[in-house]
Amino acid sequence: MNINPIAQQLNSTIKKGNSYLMEMLSKTGRRLFFPKGILSQSAEARQKAYDKFNATIGIATDNLHTMHLPSIMNSVQGLRVSDALTYAPSFGIPGLRQAWKDAMLKKNPTLKNKTISLPIVTNGITHGISAFADMFIDPDDVLIFPDKMWGNNNLIMCIRKDAEISQYPLFSEMNRFNIPAFEKAVRQNAENNYKIIVFLNFPNNPTGYTPTEEEGNQIADVLTNVAKEGTNVIAVTDDAYFGLRYESSAMKESLFSLLCDRHPRMLAVKLDGATKEMFVWGLRVGFITYGTLVDGNYHDFYDALERKTAADIRGSISNASHLSQSIVLKSMLSPDELETERAAKVQLLKNRAVKIKEILKNPKYDDAWEMYPFNSGYFMCLKLKSVDAEELRVHILDKYKVGTISINQTDLRIAFSCVDEENLAELFDAVYQGVKDLESKK
> Which strand (E) or helix (H) includes residue 99?
helix 94-107
Euclidean distance between CA atoms 361 and 371, whole angstroms = 10
CA dist., res. 325 & res. 306, Å (int) = 18
Q: Which long-range contacts (CB under 8 A, 24 or more apart) does 429-433 make?
A: 430/396, 430/400, 430/402, 431/382, 431/392, 431/396, 431/402, 431/404, 432/364, 432/365, 432/368, 433/396, 433/400
Give all strands (DSSP E) within 213-343, no chain letters. Answer: 232-238, 266-273, 286-291
For residue 137, how many other CB atoms are within 10 A of its CB?
26
CATH 3.90.1150.10 domain position(s) in the chain: 337-441
Residues in the chain: 442
Q: Which has the closest alpha carbon to 99: 275, 252, 328, 302?
A: 328
Three-class secondary structure of residue 198 per DSSP: strand
CA dihedral sign, ordered 191, 184, 253, 132 = positive
Provide CB contacts within 8 A for 212, sequence distance 6+.
176, 177, 249, 250, 251
Q: What is the pLDDT along the chain (442 residues), one digit of tens a residue?
A: 689 999 999 999 999 999 999 999 999 999 999 887 766 788 788 889 888 888 888 889 899 899 999 999 999 989 999 999 999 999 999 999 999 999 999 999 999 999 999 999 999 999 999 999 999 999 999 999 999 999 899 999 999 999 999 999 999 988 899 999 999 999 999 999 999 999 999 999 999 999 999 999 999 999 999 999 999 999 999 999 999 999 999 999 999 999 999 999 999 999 999 999 999 999 999 999 999 999 999 999 999 999 999 999 999 999 999 999 999 999 999 999 999 999 999 999 999 999 999 999 999 999 999 999 999 999 999 999 999 999 999 999 999 999 999 999 999 999 999 999 999 999 999 999 999 999 998 7
Q: Tell which CATH architecture fits domain 337-441.
A: Alpha-Beta Complex (3.90)
Q: Is 122 helix (H, G, I), strand (E, B) or coil?
A: strand
Predicted pLDDT at 1? 65
Kindly report each contact of residues 257-260 with a partner whose C-beta sits within 8 Å and lies 24 or more positions away, as own/partner: 257/108, 257/110, 257/111, 257/114, 258/110, 258/216, 258/217, 258/219, 258/220, 259/220, 259/223, 259/235, 259/291, 260/111, 260/114, 260/116, 260/291, 260/292
Tell me whether strands 61-62 and 65-66 are parallel, antiparallel or unpaired: antiparallel
Residues of the chain with CATH 3.40.640.10: 5-34+90-332
- Supply the pLDDT for residue 77: 87
Residue 195 has φ and ψ, to the nearest 5°, of: -145, 135
What backbone torsions phi and psi does residue 206 show, to the nearest 5 degrees?
A: -110, 0
Give 297's DSSP letter: -
Letter for the amino acid at 425? A
Q: What's the one-letter identity of residue 165?
A: I
Q: How far is CA 391 from the centre of its chain?
A: 31
Coil, strand or helix at 383: strand
Contact 198, 232 (CB under 8 A): no
Q: Which CATH class is domain 5-34+90-332?
A: alpha beta
Cβ-in-10-Å burial (0-12, 13-18, 19+) of 103 comes to middle
How many Å apart are CA 332 and CA 277, to the nearest integer?
12
Residue 216's H or E segment, with its range, is helix 213-228
Phi/psi for 64 (5° steps) reads: 70, 10
Question: CA-CA distance, 402 to 95, in Å (whole number)?
Answer: 44
* Confidence at residue 22, expressed as pLDDT on a 0 to 100 scale: 96
Is residue 233 within 8 A of residue 198, CB to CB? The reply is yes
